[in-house]
Amino acid sequence: MTHTPTDRPATRAGGALVPVLAFTGIVVAVMQTLLVPVVKDLPQLLSTEPGNATWVITSTLLSGAVTTPVAGRLGDLYGKRRMLVLSLTAMVVGALVSALTSDLLTMVAGRTLQGFAMSAIPLGIGLMRDTLPREKLGSAMALMSSSMGVGGSLALPAAALVAQHTDWHALFYGAAGLGVLCIVLTLLVVPESPTLAQGTFDVLGAIGLSAGLVLFLLPITKGSDWGWASGTTLGLFAASAVVLVLWGVMELRLKAPLVDLRTTASPAVLLTNLASIMVGFSFLVVSLVLPQLLQLPESTGYGLGESMVVAGVLMAPLGLTMMFTTPVYARLSAKYGPKVTLILGMLLIAIGYGAGLGLMNAPWQSLVITVILGPGIGLAYSSLPALIIGAVPASETGAAGGLNTLMRSIGAAVSSAVIGMVLANTANDVNGVAVPTMQGFRVSFLIATGAMATGLLIALFLPRARPPHDARRRLPDRPELTNAAERSLPL
C-alpha cells in the first residue's frame, strides 16, 4: 500500500478548498432534481409509457445509493480526491449521453452514470476532515453536508427556466459543463488526502452490498406501480433481506471489510444513521408537495395556478436559507455540540410541516413554509457528518460518511414511494388524469411531521459526540493507520 509523504501538512489546503468542494456538492445534488420540471412530460418526450419513464429518475437514485459507500471506501484506500474526480467524470459522461438521446434505454444509462456523482459529498467531507485545521472544520463540513439540499432546491427554478424556454436536452449540456468546471477546480485547488487506510478493497463486500441495496430500493421506488402486495415486490424485499444478512455475516469475518459493522453498530453511529433516514424522508416531502400545489390550476378550488418558473422561484428560499444557516450551525455546534443542533433542526422541521398544514392557501404561504423548513433542514444536515466523524477513526471517514449519505438517500427513496402512494390514492380523476387533492397534500405533511417526531426521539438517545479533532486519542487502537495519517489529523 502506498501512502502519502509523512511531512505533508494538514493545513496545506488553500482558502478556496471549501468553496470549491461546496460548489461541487451543489452541482452533484442538482442531478436529483434536474428533471423535476419536466417529469410529467417524460412519457411523451421519450415516447414511452409513464411507468417506464420513471426509470429516468429511479436509475439515478439507485446508482447513487449503490456507489456512495463503495466510493467512500475506495477513497479511504486510494485517495478521496482521486475518487472525487472519477465520480465527477462519470457524471459528465452520463450527462453527455443523456443530452444526445431521446431513447429511453440510452437515457437511463446516462442517468445511471450521473448518479455516481452522489459520492462526491461524503468524499468532500472526508477531504475537509483530512486537510483542514479544526477551527475551520465545523462550518466547512456543515456547508458541504447542506449542499445536498441546497443544490436540489436551487436547481428547481434554474431547471424550470431552461426547460420552459429551450429544448429539455439543454439541461444535460448544462450539467456536463458544470461537471467539467468542478473537475478543473478540484484538480487546481483540492489536495489529495494525506490520510489513507491500509488493506485491500473488499470486492465481494461491494458486490453484496450493491445487490442488497438494489433489491431493497427497487421495490420501494416501483412498488406503487407493481403493487405493494404483488409477488414481485414482496419477493424482492425478501431477497434483499437474505442478501444483506449474508453480506453482514461475511463483513464481520473480514479483517478489512467494506463497512466496519462493529463501528457502525456503535450507538453514536447507528442512531445518527437512523436519524438521517428520518431527515432524508422529511426533506423530500416539501419538494414533492409544494411544486404540485403551486402549479395546479385555480379551477381545482385549491390549486394556486402558478407557472413552472414561479413555482421554482418560490421553492428557492428552501436552499438559500439552508446555505445561510451554516455559520449559525458552526457557532451553535461549537458551544452546545452537534447533538443539540440536530435536535433543534428537527424541531424546526416539525414546526414547519405542522404549520404548513394550515398554510396552503396562497403562494406567499409557501414562502413561509420554506423559510421555516430551510434552517431546520440546514441544521440537521450540518449536524450529521459531525456526529459520524466524531465517532469513527480517520481511516474510515470516507466509508462511514458514504454510509450516512446512503441512509439519507434511503429516507428520500422511502419518502418518494410513500408520498407518491398517498397522493395517488387520494387523487381525483379529471378527464382521465389523476389530480392530487388538498387532502393528499395535508396527509403528506402530517406524515413528514410524524417522521420528524420519530427522528427527534432517536436523537434524544444519541451519546454526546466528541468533536472530530479528538480522533487522535483513538488512534493507538487503530494499528492500520500510518504515522503519516496520525500526524495529518486536523488538530
Q: Among the residues of 390-435, which ranges form H helices? A: 397-425
pTM for this prediction: 0.77
The amino acid at residue 480 is: E
SS3 435: strand
- Across the chain, what does the average pLDDT equal? 82
Write the DSSP symbol of residue 157: H
SS3 26: helix
Tell me the range of 240-244, 288-292, 465-469 where mean pLDDT is highest: 240-244
Rounded to 5 degrees, what are φ and ψ at 428?
A: -100, 145
The predicted pLDDT at position 484 comes to: 35
- Distance (Å, whole) CA 233 – CA 225: 10
Q: Read off the C-alpha cell for 327.
A: 455559520
Q: For the ranges 79-88, 186-195, 423-432, 445-454, which has the lowest average pLDDT?
A: 423-432
Contact 404, 388 (CB under 8 A): yes
* Residue 452: how many other CB atoms lie within 10 Å: 28
Work out whether the CA dihedral 322, 325, 326, 332 comes out positive or negative.
Answer: negative
pLDDT digits (tens, 9 = 90+) for 17-59: 888 998 998 888 888 778 877 777 788 888 887 767 778 877 8
Q: Quick one: pLDDT band at residue 264, thresholds 50, 70, 90?
A: confident
List all residues 6 or more positions away from 100 whose beta carbon is below 8 Å from its beta carbon. 169
The predicted pLDDT at position 13 comes to: 53
Q: Which residue has the higher pLDDT, 193 or 459?
A: 459
CA 246 to chain centroid, in Å, comes to 26
Contact 329, 378 (CB under 8 A): yes
**pLDDT average, residue stretch 97-126:** 90
Q: Which residue has the higher pLDDT, 370 or 220?
A: 370
The predicted pLDDT at position 187 comes to: 94
Tell me the range of 9-18, 55-64, 93-102, 433-442 where mean pLDDT is highest: 93-102
Q: Which residue has the higher pLDDT, 41 or 98?
A: 98
SS3 36: helix
Percent of the chain with pLDDT over 90: 27
Q: For the ranges 42-46, 261-265, 289-293, 393-397, which has the lowest average pLDDT?
A: 393-397
472 pLDDT more than 50: no
Q: For the ranges 19-23, 140-144, 355-359, 367-371, which has the lowest average pLDDT?
A: 140-144
The predicted pLDDT at position 107 comes to: 93
